[in-house]
Amino acid sequence: MTHPSQDDPTDEHPDQEDEHLIREAERIAVAVGRMFPGLCEVVLHDLRRPDSAIRAIENNLSGRQVGDSATELGLRRIEDPDYPSVIQNYSNRFPDGRPAKSTSIGIKNADGRYVAALCLNLDVSTLSPLALTLANLVATGVEHRGEGLETLRDRTGRELRSAIDSFAAERSSTPRGLNRDQKRELVRQLHREGFFETRSSAQLIADRLGVSRATVYNYTK
């Protein structure tokens, strides 16, 4: 009586292809995490096992462990194969309160079912001091701060984005991570500084803050 060899296709586990896919993703997670030590946490979730989903965690910044359960995004992908495969650059926060910028990438098998998710969590707080230093370097005097001494026409989109990012960095946050009162304060400041003179500026501000254009105009009142 002969026994099938290890290479015999008939001896393959039904889940073998999914396992191979996840192992390849695990290699990517480790490589990306080690490229950004102390800055970006990379987590691989095995969505086949939601109760113990974390398969690998490199550059651990959140305090989670291998074997911990899936996040809300993972559960949504398990329930809905049509859920977006990439959720990019969304505002997040580590358990100790540090702001983070996150990206979640769903991984489907050949049958179109989510089997894994690769998540990157960038520690924004480590970048804020540098952003604040640069903001202070280009800051003007405080004597007339808040006074509309003059309006500079044709403010560029780059200047507008820089002003928004500097305001958020001073508060150890990202533009989308600001709370409602902070966003209102920022919009009013931009209005005083003449950034609303350009027709497209309101939409750019809305996109940057993650709010509607109508909300931006409402904040100016």
pLDDT (0 to 100) of residue 1: 37
Regarding predicted confidence, which is higher, 147 or 83?
Answer: 83
User: Mean pLDDT over residues 101-119, rounded?
Assistant: 94
pLDDT (0 to 100) of residue 130: 64
- % the chain with pLDDT above 90: 45
Confidence of residue 10 (pLDDT cuts 50, 70, 90): very low
Summary mean pLDDT of the chain: 82
Residue 159, pLDDT above cutoff 90: no
Regarding predicted confidence, which is higher, 128 or 1?
Answer: 128
Residue 11, pLDDT above cutoff 50: no
Residue 5, pLDDT above cutoff 70: no
180-192 and 201-209 are packed helices; what angle lies between their axes, rounded to 10 degrees? 160
Regarding predicted confidence, which is higher, 106 or 153?
Answer: 106
Confidence of residue 161 (pLDDT cuts 50, 70, 90): confident
Residue 22, pLDDT above cutoff 60: yes
How far is the C-alpha of 48 from the C-alpha of 42, rounded, in Å?
19
3-state helix, strand, coil in the chain (%, to 5): 45, 20, 40
pLDDT (0 to 100) of residue 193: 83
- % the chain with pLDDT above 70: 79
pLDDT (0 to 100) of residue 86: 93
pLDDT (0 to 100) of residue 149: 39
138-170 burial, b for 16+ CB within 10 Å, e for fewer?
eeeeeeeeeeeeeeeeebeeeebeebbbbbbbe
Confidence of residue 119 (pLDDT cuts 50, 70, 90): very high
What DSSP line would sit under 133-192, residue for residue?
Answer: HHHHHH---STTTT------SS--HHHHHHHHHHHHHTTTS-GGGS-HHHHHHHHHHHHH
Residue 147, pLDDT above cutoff 70: no
**pLDDT tens digits for range 182-201:** 999 999 988 888 887 777 88
